[in-house]
Amino acid sequence: MKETNSQSATRRAARLAALFVSFLFASGIVFASGAKESASAQQSSAVTINFYTGGDVNVHDLWANDILPAYKKVAPNVNVNLVFSEHNGSDQLVFDKIAAAKQAGKVSGVDIWETGRVLQAGEAGLAMKVSATDIANLSKVSPDVLAQAGGYGVPYRGSSVVIAYNSQYVSNPPTTLQGLFDWIKKNPGKFTYNPPDTGGSGDAFVQAVLKTSVMSSDLKTFQTSYNQSLESEWGSGWKLLESLGPDVYQGGFYPKGNVGVLQLLDKGAIWLAPVWSDMGLSYLAQGLLPANVKLEQLDPPFSGGASYIAVVSDSLHKSADDAFLNWLLTPEVQAIVIHKMNGYPGVEWQYVPADVRQKFAAIAKNYSFGFSAKFDSDMHQMWYQNVANAGKN
C-alpha cells in the first residue's frame, strides 16, 4: 500500500526523535533527576556545578587554566565541571537538552551556561532572572548591559569595536565619528572596513554611520525590537557611506572579515580602520601588528557586547551557582579576564584595579549597543545595494 504524506511525515518525525535521543546518550548528555538539594546540604557537603560553555581555545584555556583553578583555592568544596564545546558547536544541543528536560519535568544537569542565547533561554523559561539580591556584585554592572540580556545573564567579559591607527603616519587620530569622516576624506586610500556581513568590526562601523540619521526616539527600537518601516531613516546614512567609497582603500576595496582588515594594517597598506578591541590587542601582543599601531575608542563609542552566563532554571545548586558568579565579578578575577582575553570587564571599568585601567586607558570606556538581529540582517543586504554595488547597475 502506498504511504500517505501524513504517514510519511510521522515516520520521519519518529526517526528524528530516535536519532536525537541516541545522540544525547552518545554525547553523555542525559537528564539528571531527583529532588532539589537544600541550601544547607550544599554548604555542608561537596557540590559539583556543571558549567557548559564554548568558543575558541583561548576561552577554554581561560577557564581551565586560570579561573577554575583559582576558584578551587577559595571554594575547595565546590567542583566546577567544565563542559566545553569548541566554537560553540553544541549551543543548540544544550538549549534543546534543557528544554526537553523542562517539558519532561526532569532536571537537565546543566547548572550554568555561557551562551549567546541567554535572552532566548530566559524567555523560554529555561534561565532564571539574576539580580544583585542574590549576586551582590551585579550592582557593579551597567544596568544597560544587564538589560541587553533581559536580566537573564551575568556578563563577565566584553569586547568593543575601536579604531586602530598606525601612529607612524597618524599623529593626531580622530576622536569622533565626524572627525573620522573628515580624516578619511583627507587621507584617501588609507582607510577601509570589512563588509558588515563578514565581521563585527565592519558591521559596527556601518551601524555607527546609519545611527547618525536615526531619530533618537527610535534608537531603542533599532536595538531591541524590529519595525522594518523605520529603515527609511537610514537614507542619509547610506548616502554618506556611498560618498566615502572613492576614498576607501583602492577606491572601494572592502576586505572580507575582521582578519582581512588587520592584515592590511600590518602591511601598512592602510593607516586606520575599525577593529575588535580584543583582536587588536591580541595581534599586538603576538607581534602580528607593528608596535606603532595604537587603539582608541571614539566618542560616542562604537558598539560592542558582553559574554553572558545564565543560571539554568532547573539547577540543583542555585546558591553555589550564585556564589561562583559573584566571585567572578570581583576585581582580582576581572583583572585576570581582561589580561587573558584582552577584552573589557563584565563590571564597569571603575571597579577594576587602577593599574589595569591605566594599561587599557585608550579603550577603557563604555561601548554602545548594536541593532537587533533582524535590523542587522536587513542592513547587511542593503549595504551591498547601497554601497558596494552602488552605481554599478
Specify whether 208 is located in the same domain as 249: yes
CB 334 within 8 A of CB 65: no
Runs of H (alpha helix) within 187-256: 200-211, 219-224, 235-244
Cβ atoms of 295 and 277 closer than 8 Å: yes
The conformation of residue 314, written as its DSSP 8-state character, comes to: T
In a domain, 212, yes or no: yes
pTM to 2 decimals? 0.80
Residue 325 neighbours by CB distance under 10 Å = 22
- Cα–Cα distances (Å) from 384 to 234, 235, 244, 254, in that order, read 14, 14, 14, 11
Are 171 and 299 part of one and the same domain? yes
Residue 32 has pLDDT above 90, yes or no: no
- Residue 78 to residue 70: CA distance in whole angstroms: 12
User: Is position 393 within any domain?
Assistant: no
7 found inside a domain: no
Residue position matching grid coordinates 546543566: 110
Q: Is residue 20 part of a domain?
A: no
Is 35 part of a structural domain of the chain?
yes
Helix residue ranges, H only, the chain: 5-26, 39-44, 57-61, 68-74, 91-104, 118-123, 143-148, 177-186, 200-211, 219-224, 235-244, 257-267, 277-285, 318-328, 331-341, 354-359, 373-383
Q: Does 18 reside within a domain? A: no
Each residue's pLDDT tens digit, 239-284: 999 999 999 999 999 999 999 999 999 999 999 999 999 999 999 9
Q: Does residue 51 carry a pLDDT above 90?
A: yes
Q: Is residue 1 part of a domain?
A: no
At 261, give phi and psi (nearest 5°): -65, -45
Please provide the average confidence, as pLDDT, over all residues in the chain: 89
% of the chain surpassing 90 pLDDT: 80
In this model, does residue 3 exceed pLDDT 60? Answer: no
The pLDDT value given to residue 362: 84
Range of the domain at 226: 159-304+369-388
Residues in the chain: 393
| Residue 88's CATH number | 3.40.190.10
Q: What is the pLDDT of residues 163-199, one digit of tens each?
A: 999 999 999 999 999 999 999 999 999 999 999 999 9
What integer is the mean pLDDT of 366-377? Answer: 92
